[in-house]
Amino acid sequence: MTIKKVNIGIYLVLFLMLIVLFRLFQLQILEGDKYKRMSEDNRLRVIKMPAPRGVIYDRNGIPLVKNIPFYSVSLIFDKKNYPDVYALSKLLNMDVKEIEQKLSRHNSPFIPVKLKQGLSFVEIARIESRISDFPGVFIDTDVSREYLYGKLAAHVIGYLGKINPLQLRDPDLRQMPPDAFTGQWGVERIFDRELRGVAGERIIEVDALGRELKKLQEISAIMGKDIKLSIDINVQKAAEEAFADKRGSLVALKPTTGEILAMVSLPSFDPNVFSKGIDMSQWVKIMEDKRKPMLNRAIQSQYPPGSIFKIVTAVAALEEGIIDPNSKINCSGGLNYGKWTFGCWKKGGHGSVDMHKAIVESCDVYFYELGKRLGIDKIHHYSKLFGLGTETGIDMTPLKEKKGLIPNAEWKKEKIKLPWYLGDTFISSIGQGFISVTPIQAAVLVATFANGGYLYKPTFMIGGYEPVGRIDLKTQTIEIVKNALYGVVNEPNGTAQSSKSTIVKIAGKTGTAQVVGKGKKVSGEQYIDHAWFVAYAPLENPEIAISVLVEHGGGGGAVAAPIAKKTIEAYFISKNSKEN
């Protein structure tokens, strides 16, 4: 070997050493911080810890929910240490294919895969006893809810569920741990931000497989804010029990604030099914239930108001001065108009009727005459003043409140391409025909009349709220109609004698809303009339206003009025027990 070749070899070695030294200098000095961070990222894990949710209370401080632990089993693995799926399926009592599907979506050895959620204590004990045989398997603890009253007030309180893909787009939810519970409906959804608090963090050191070695730091979660609702759970309970197995809705509120004391929608559902992790078969069963338990009938269902609408017609007639309340109209059982006959509910007629008797006994013919004298535009105007035909403004996220419908000539021409006839006015004056309202609108109607004309936005929160509107009613109008509404309940011929109470003076109006035209011979529950009753109590300085709708219940006085009576009495019994 010549000296020249030796020198070339030495230079080559030196050159290679220089490259290595430069690369070391680059890695350790120039890019040292970068790779240090990468190393730390591989060694450290930041685990989000959901905060305990705030507790929801009723207006009397009674808790309606409580926080409970929600356990899951998760797995950290990589392709070099693929788990024994068959052994896992026996441990977790899961189908092999289900596990394989979950593992197939796994794209990082450092992110755990949730295999099974909502574990029972028996399952936890079984898994923990064998967990050393399954590297990477561990038990996760989350925070969920127990709804202490089950189906009671479920449409108000709502329920929790796992964050869905659509919600993950919400910037407000990006800081939430994946698979955390969040409010999906009702109060849980409306006040989710206040209730959920601030998530904590746990920083841990992990090995090459992502398994925890030790805890380095922990930042405690901050519990969410407690919420006190306006509802009275004792009133709610009395109302739902009064319905028995009937379908329908009830809304009770304070006339001077708009605070909701009870909101019923039946049939209902059990929110505990959702908070414990609902599977697809359970969800399909609920959605396919023909009774529609998830429908909030108080705000989402629209019905003809029937004779409860006569409150509006009577107020409009008195305010416009189109009739002397003492003048008489003869009811022989119907009103003839051209070739049509518009009948009264009482086939033999009511005889000679003034306004007081017409309201007490709910004479249709009297109100046909009022409608004729008023005209549909005046009826439409006063209906709108009372909040009918428009949203009340209540927040029931994510549900959308229905508007109902208060028609006039312009509406009919636009929607049906026909002129408005006097016959349309007749049936509109008694709350039939095209008119429809929601139970919450009916409650606002009677509350607005009861407090002298102040319109309040319904709310689930306690507090003094300013009215959102006012009807400047004459004192005489209020007195005439109030006396008649008291007679509906307390006079011998009143249509709501079944709601007369020995505890408190109740005033109200019954309604029977036809679902098919008179004379049509049909059978089946779906063709039975809806039963309405709206009321307030006490007669002077009312504290509660209420609307009751029983789907296909028949007569309002026989079916809906007793439900209102039990609910109103429950309110005053609850109130008196607190004062004594």
Beta carbons of 481 and 493 less than 8 angstroms apart: no
307 counts as catalytic: yes
191: tokens are: 């006040």
186: tokens are: 């009702």
3-state secondary structure of 351: strand
552: tokens are: 């296909």
User: CA torsion sign, 288 to 293 to 296 to 297?
Assistant: positive
Measured between alpha carbons, how far apart are the two ends of the chain, in Å?
115
For 278, counting Cβ atoms within 10 Å of its Cβ (0-12 exposed, 13-18 middle, 19+ buried), the class is middle
Residue appearing with tokens 């009022």 = 370
226: tokens are: 């407690």
| CA separation, residue 479 to residues 325, 469, 475 (Å) | 11, 21, 6
Catalytic residue among 265, 307, 383, 429: 307
Residue appearing with tokens 């009751």 = 548
Q: In angstroms, rounded to a whole number, what is the distance separating the alpha carbons of residues 279 and 276?
A: 10
Beta carbons of 445 and 311 less than 8 angstroms apart: yes
The 3-state secondary structure of 521-555, one letter per residue: CCCCHHHCCEEEEEEEECCCCCCEEEEEEECCCCC
The 3-state secondary structure of 163-226, one letter per residue: CCCCHHHCHHHCCCCCCCEEEEEHHHHHCHHHHHCECEEEEEEECCCCCEEEEEEEECCECCCC
Helices 121-130 & 85-92 angle (0-180, nearest 10): 140
Residue closest to 457 by CA, chosen among 230, 188, 255: 255
Residue appearing with tokens 């609307």 = 547
DSSP code of residue 494: -
User: CA torsion sign, 564 to 567 to 573 to 575?
Assistant: negative
3-state secondary structure of 138: strand
| CA separation, residue 87 to residues 19, 105, 111, 252 (Å) | 51, 20, 21, 56
Beta carbons of 535 and 508 less than 8 angstroms apart: yes
Residue closest to 235 by CA, chosen among 579, 578, 580, 566: 566
Is residue 68 within a helix (H) or strand (E), and if so which, with residue range? strand 65-75
Q: In angstroms, rounded to a whole number, what is the distance separating the alpha carbons of residues 198 and 218?
A: 14
Residue closest to 302 by CA, chosen among 149, 163, 439: 439
What are the residue numbers of the active site?
307
